[in-house]
Structure formats: structure tokens, C-alpha cells
């Protein structure tokens, strides 16, 4: 009887062999690239009907792209998968700095005098979230009718990891102004993190009622529907978000994750290839692409990205 260790070793060797084969297939092509409407450079091998021109001066850049994708495939082949919750909520909060690890330790005493909004904003921007909480707490006490004070208090509390305080602050903001879209959206996000997707749904719907053309709100609707077990509804929402913003990489990633969950690896490749093409710096996109590549025989990423862009047109 063969040991589990030997089986695992052969599995990894098989995955690595497949990666090497894919690498040879990618690097054996001509390194010429083609121009797109937004001045990016893509690999050759695209459908002739697209009528693109050849630009042979981007070899180094494309080699880097290939190496990035191959590295992602190696990660997936060796079993280093992303967690189901790899989509960081902070990445879906526009115009705010990335979330730091852990809870910020308070560094200043309780604020006793009046403070300005700019002081709290500066603390938040500098990632001194504990200070920002104290400053915006003082600010909202001094100016209780300013909805933006409660909104920033909610964001600051969320960044420290205090979701209950964030929910309370966003709720107070909405009591001041029920049409404050950002408070609806971010309250919905915190509620989802608390496992309260059903409670988040009315806030997402309220945001959409105010602005139905917001890809951010439609994407959040997709998250809620995914959490509530409505995969088809979530897929439709992510498609709609991409139609509204054809560079919405998080909707592309989330759509692909649903396809992967359904075993539709070929369908997942298009949105993931496009997401990585737009943003090659986000690990979640590269890792998910590596996972999909591992389980699919299709490796012409440039053609997949272009095909996905054409597919988006059919969703409109």
C-alpha cells in the first residue's frame, strides 16, 4: 500500500509538470504585443477579426506578465489556495487606506476639547484609527448634526475591528440623513462581515434606489445574494456591475469565484484574465487565476481577456 506522502508528492509533481508545459506553451510564442484602446500591451494570438496592430517592443513587460501568471499557477498547483473569504472588505471601501493587521493601540489620551474634522481625517489617513475614533467621537459630540462625522467615526471604528461601534455610527449617520449612500453601503458591508446578510439587504436596496447606476452598490448586492445562497442572482449582479464599470476588477474576481465554486473553470478564466490584466498587483486575482488555470486546459490569456470583453457586450 502506497503512503499518502508519496501520493501527495506525485500530485505536486504532476501539477508542476503541467505548469512547466503551460510555461513552454506561453514562452514559445512570439513576444510581440498588440495595442488596445487604453494603450495597454497584450500578447499576440488574438482573433484576427479584432484588427489589432503588432508592437514588438514590449518583450520584457510581457515576460514579466507571463512569470506572474506562471507563479500564480505554481501556487495553486502546490496546494496554496486562497481562503473563501479572500476578498478583503477594505478593498471594497474606495478612497480609504488599506486595512492594517490587528487592532490599533490607542496612543493619545481622551480628547477633551473641540476638534476639527480635518484632525480626525488626518488621523484616519495616517492609519491612526484609534486616534481617529476618539477625534470623531469628540467631533460628533460637538457637531451632532454633521452626517460626515458619524460616517468617518463608523469607518474608523471598523478599521480598529470594532464592528458593533461601526454599525452604531453608520446607523446614526443614516438617522441624520437617510439618503447618505456611503453610509448605506458601508453599513451593509459591516453587517455582511457580522454574518447578517439579510439585515444588510435593505441598505443595499436603499443605496440602489438612490443611484441604480453605481457599480459599487450592484457589486455589494452580489455579495449579499451570494451570502444568502442565491448564486444565480449574485452572478447576474456581478455581470451588471461589470457592464456599469468595465474595469470593476472585484466584480470580475467575485464572478469567477462563483464559477469556480460551480466547477466552471473555463468560464472563470475570462474574468480572471481580464482582472489580472487591469490589476496584476492584487494577490487574490493572481491566486484565483492560478487555481482556474490548474483545472483548465486553456492558457491563451490574451485571447481569453479579449473574448471576455466581447462577452460583456452581450450582457448590456
136, 141, 147, 148 alpha-carbon torsion, rounded to 10°: -20
| pLDDT tens digits, one per residue of 155-181 | 999 999 999 999 999 999 999 999 999
Q: Which of 186, 141, 190 is nearest to 163 (CA)?
A: 190
- The full set of domains in the chain, from first to last, is 4-77 (no CATH), 87-172 (1.25.40.10)
Residues sharing a CB contact under 8 Å with residue 205, sequence separation 6 or more, in sequence order: 221
21 or 162: which carries more pLDDT confidence?
162
Burial 246-263 (b: 16+ CB within 10 A, else e): bebbbbbbbbbbbbbeee
Q: Can you tell me the distance from the alpha carbon of 273 to that of 289, in angstroms, rounded to the nearest whole number?
A: 7
Q: Which of 176, 139, 138, 136 is nearest to 155 (CA)?
A: 136
Are the CB atoms for 157 and 133 separated by under 8 Å? yes
Share of the chain above pLDDT 90, in %: 55
Q: Can you tell me the distance from the alpha carbon of 195 to that of 179, in angstroms, rounded to the nearest whole number?
A: 24
Residues sharing a CB contact under 8 Å with residue 117, sequence separation 6 or more, in sequence order: 139, 146, 148, 149, 152
* 4 pLDDT above the threshold of 70: no
| pLDDT tens digits, one per residue of 116-161 | 999 999 999 999 999 999 999 999 999 999 999 999 999 999 999 9
| pLDDT tens digits, one per residue of 242-275 | 999 999 999 999 999 999 999 999 999 999 999 9
* 294 pLDDT above the threshold of 80: yes
C-alpha cell at position 58:
514590449
Share of the chain above pLDDT 70, in %: 62
Amino acid at each position: 500500500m502506497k503512503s499518502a506522502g508519496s501520493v501527495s508528492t506525485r500530485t505536486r509533481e504532476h501539477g508542476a509538470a503541467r505548469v512547466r508545459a503551460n510555461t513552454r506553451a506561453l514562452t514559445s510564442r512570439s513576444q510581440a504585443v498588440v495595442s488596445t484602446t487604453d494603450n495597454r500591451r497584450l500578447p499576440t494570438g488574438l482573433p484576427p477579426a479584432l484588427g489589432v496592430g503588432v508592437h514588438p517592443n514590449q518583450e520584457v513587460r510581457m515576460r514579466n506578465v507571463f512569470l506572474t501568471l506562471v507563479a500564480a499557477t505554481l501556487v495553486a498547483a502546490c496546494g496554496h489556495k486562497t481562503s473563501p473569504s479572500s476578498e478583503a472588505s477594505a478593498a471594497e471601501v474606495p478612497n480609504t487606506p488599506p486595512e492594517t493587521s490587528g487592532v490599533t493601540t490607542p496612543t493619545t489620551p481622551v480628547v477633551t476639547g473641540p476638534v476639527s474634522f480635518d484632525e480626525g481625517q488626518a488621523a484616519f489617513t495616517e492609519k491612526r484609527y484609534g486616534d481617529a475614533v476618539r477625534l470623531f467621537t469628540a467631533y460628533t459630540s460637538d457637531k451632532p448634526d454633521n452626517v460626515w462625522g458619524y460616517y468617518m467615526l463608523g469607518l474608523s471604528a471598523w478599521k480598529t475591528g470594532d464592528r458593533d461601534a461601526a454599525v452604531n455610527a453608520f446607523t446614526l449617520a443614516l438617522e441624520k440623513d437617510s439618503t447618505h449612500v456611503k453610509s448605506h453601503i458601508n453599513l451593509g458591508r459591516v453587517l455582511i462581515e457580522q454574518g447578517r446578510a439579510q439585515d444588510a439587504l435593505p441598505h443595499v436596496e436603499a443605496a440602489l434606489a438612490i443611484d441604480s447606476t453605481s457599480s459599487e452598490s450592484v457589486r455589494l448586492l452580489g455579495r449579499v445574494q451570494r451570502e444568502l445562497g442565491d448564486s444565480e442572482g449574485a452572478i447576474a449582479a456581478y455581470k451588471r456591475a461589470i457592464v456599469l464599470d468595465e474595469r470593476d476588477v472585484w466584480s470580475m474576481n467575485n464572478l469567477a469565484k462563483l464559477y469556480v465554486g460551480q466547477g466552471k473553470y473555463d468560464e472563470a478564466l475570462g474574468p480572471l484574465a481580464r482582472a489580472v490584466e487591469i490589476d496584476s498587483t492584487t494577490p487574490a486575482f493572481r491566486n484565483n487565476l492560478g487555481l482556474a488555470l490548474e483545472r483548465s486546459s486553456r492558457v491563451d490569456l490574451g485571447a481569453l481577456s479579449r473574448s471576455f470583453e466581447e462577452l460583456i457586450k452581450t450582457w448590456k
